[in-house]
Structure 1
Amino acid sequence: MAWAGEVLDRVTKRGELKLVLLNDYPPFSSINDKNELVGFDIDVAKAFAERLGVKLSIDTPAWEVIAAGNWRGRWDICICSMTPTAERAEVLDFPVKYYESPAVLVVHKDETRIKGIADITGKTVAAQSGASYEAYLQQTLKITAPDAQQPSFPFGKVTVAPYETETVAFQDLGLGGGKRLDAVITNYITAKERIDATGRFKIVSDKLYAEPNWVAVEKGDAAWSAKVKATIEAMKADGTLSAISKRWIGIDITG
Structure 2
Amino acid sequence: MKRNVFLGLLMAGLLIFSVQTAMAAGTVLDEIMTAGVIKVSTDANYAPQSFLNEKGELEGFDISVATEIAKRLGVKVQFITPDWDLITAGKWGKRWDISVGSMTPTKERKNALLFTIPYYSSPAQFAIHKDNTTIKTIDDLKDKKIGVASETTNERFLQQDLVIQDTKISYLTWKPSHSNLKTYPTDANQIEDLALGDGARLDAVFTSRQTLAQSIKSGCGTGCPLKMLGDPTYYEPLSVALDKSRKNSESFLTKLNEVIDSMYKDGTLVKLSMKFYGTDLIPKL
Q: TM-score, normalised by structure 1?
A: 0.93
Unaligned runs of 5+ in 2: 1-23
Matched, 1:213 2:241: no
Query: Percent identical across equivalent pairs?
Result: 40
Alignment match of 2:184 (pick from 163, 175, 192): 163
The answer to whether the 8 A contact 2:158-2:175 is kept is no
Structure index of larger Rg: 2
Cα offsets for 1:47-89 (capped at 9, x unmatched): 1001111110001111111111111212111111011111111
Aligned-pair CA distance for 1:150: 1.6
Structure 1 stretch 219-228 or stretch 100-109: which is displaced more? 219-228
Aligned-pair CA distance for 1:4: 8.1
Matched, 1:175 2:227: no
Q: TM-score, normalised by structure 2?
A: 0.84
The answer to whether the 8 A contact 2:147-2:181 is kept is yes
The count of residues paired between Structure 1 and Structure 2 equals 251
Matched, 1:98 2:119: yes
Name the CA distance, whole Å, in 2 between partners of 1:247 and 1:39.
Answer: 9
The answer to whether the 8 A contact 1:41-1:80 is kept is yes
The answer to whether the 8 A contact 2:36-2:75 is kept is yes
Cα offsets for 1:184-237 (capped at 9, x unmatched): 111111111111222510111211111211111111622111111111001111
Structure 1 stretch 68-77 or stretch 155-164: which is displaced more? 155-164
Amino acid at match of 2:229: V
Q: How does 1:173-212 map to 2 (within 5 A)?
A: 173-198=194-219, 199-212=224-237
Cα offsets for 1:79-105 (capped at 9, x unmatched): 110111111111111121000121010
Aligned in 2, Cα 1:167/1:173: closer, same or farther, shift over 3 Å?
A: same
Matched, 1:60 2:99: no
Unaligned runs of 5+ in 1: none
Matched, 1:247 2:279: no
Aligned to 1:224: 252
Aligned-pair CA distance for 1:117: 2.4
RMSD: 1.6
Matched, 1:154 2:196: no
In terms of fraction of residues, the more helix-rich structure is: 2
Name the CA distance, whole Å, in 1 between partners of 2:170 and 2:80.
Answer: 31
SS class of match (1:150): coil
Name the CA distance, whole Å, in 2 between partners of 1:126 and 1:5.
Answer: 45
Alignment match of 1:48 (pick from 69, 75, 82): 69
